[in-house]
């Protein structure tokens, strides 16, 4: 199957006084439609940098990113933002929920941002919250939810606009092992039901093993993780 997302020969270095820091060097990547890929690698290996490059939040020093075979590189900040709004959901280590809005309103936010606040959107938001086990927390403010519940709201929000691609950077990093694994199961099963693709960065090899494929970022490149990990 033709990949939904591809990165070709990505290089990234950060210029700094005293010498540039090279993070990625000739990094290749291909993600199939509906595929779940986990990315592992030591701290500072460039995992967050890689997610930033494939979503246009940062620009590569060289190389290109393609979506459905078409180059995204060169779109410019507004073009990338339009593309993200239409096709990508994000989950971060910190939930970034809006503190003055209820769980339901937070999940609805991506729909509102594209001008859709009808009953159908509200129905989908409620269904996603229910799927996350939060049917009875829809009118709670983030401050009235536990850390794990907050992160589940953030997952529901990421899927609100039915993105074809979800990018998650250490989404379980702040949760205890048990809560993190519960959330990983929810994230993976929701992604599979929605038919979307997922790229998830995690330090937890047990979580990574639940994805379809594990890639390791090392020395600036992505490679299949050594056998025995998956």
Ligand X SMILES: Nc1ncnc2c1ncn2[C@@H]1O[C@H](COP(=O)(O)OP(=O)(O)OP(=O)(O)O)[C@@H](O)[C@H]1O
Q: Is 146 exposed, middle or buried (0-12, 13-18, 19+ CB in 10 A)?
A: exposed
Instruction: Choose among ligand X, Mg ion, none what residue 43 binds, the Cβ cut-off being 5 to 8 Å by kind.
Output: ligand X
Q: Can you tell me the distance from the alpha carbon of 167 to that of 154, in angstroms, rounded to the nearest whole number?
A: 12
Q: Give which of 131, 147, 137 is closest to 106, Cα–Cα.
A: 137
Tokens found for residue 138: 């829809």
Nearer to ligand X among residue 44 and residue 71 (C-beta): 44
Instruction: Choose among ligand X, Mg ion, none what residue 49 binds, the Cβ cut-off being 5 to 8 Å by kind.
Output: ligand X
Chain positions 31 to 70 lying near ligand X, rule: CB under 6 A, are 41, 43-49
Instruction: Choose among ligand X, Mg ion, none what residue 132 binds, the Cβ cut-off being 5 to 8 Å by kind.
Output: none
Report the alpha-carbon angle 165-168-172, nearest 5. Answer: 145
Q: Which residues contact 59 (CB under 8 A, 6 or more apart)?
A: 53
DSSP string, 26-73: EEEEEE-TT-EEEEE--TTSSHHHHHHHHTTSS--SEEEEEETTEE-T
- Binds ligand X by CB under 6 A, chosen from 9, 14, 130, 135: 14
Nearer to ligand X among residue 105 and residue 216 (C-beta): 216
Nearer to Mg ion among residue 144 and residue 219 (C-beta): 219
> Is position 23 an interface residue for ligand X (rule: CB under 6 A)?
yes
Least separation, in Å, of the C-beta of 29 and ligand X? 14
Site for Mg ion, rule CB under 5 A: 47-48
Nearer to ligand X among residue 13 and residue 73 (C-beta): 13
Query: Which residues of the chain form contacts with ligand X (CB under 6 A)?
Result: 14, 16, 21, 23, 41, 43-49
């Amino acid at each position: 199957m033709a990949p939904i997302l591809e990165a070709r020969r990505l290089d990234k270095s950060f210029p700094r006084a005293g010498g540039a820091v090279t993070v990625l060097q000739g990094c290749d990547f291909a993600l199939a439609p509906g595929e779940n890929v986990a990315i592992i690698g030591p701290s500072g290996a460039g995992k967050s940098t890689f997610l930033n490059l494939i979503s246009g939040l940062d620009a590569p020093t060289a190389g290109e990113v393609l979506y459905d075979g078409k180059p995204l590189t060169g779109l410019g900040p507004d073009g990338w933002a339009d593309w993200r709004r239409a096709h990508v959901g994000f989950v971060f280590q910190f939930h970034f929920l809006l503190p003055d809005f209820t769980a339901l309103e937070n999940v609805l936010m991506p729909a509102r941002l594209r001008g859709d606040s009808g009953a159908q959107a509200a129905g989908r938001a409620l269904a996603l919250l229910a799927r996350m086990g939060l049917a009875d927390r829809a009118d709670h403010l983030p401050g009235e939810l536990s850390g794990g519940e907050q992160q589940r709201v953030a997952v529901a929000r990421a899927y609100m606009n039915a993105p074809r691609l979800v990018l998650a950077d250490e989404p379980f990093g702040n949760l205890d092992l048990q809560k993190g694994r519960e959330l990983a199961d929810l994230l993976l099963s929701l992604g599979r039901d929605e038919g979307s693709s997922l790229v998830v960065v995690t330090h937890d090899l047990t979580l990574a093993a639940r994805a379809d494929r594990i890639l390791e970022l090392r020395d600036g490149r992505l490679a299949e993780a050594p056998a025995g990990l998956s």
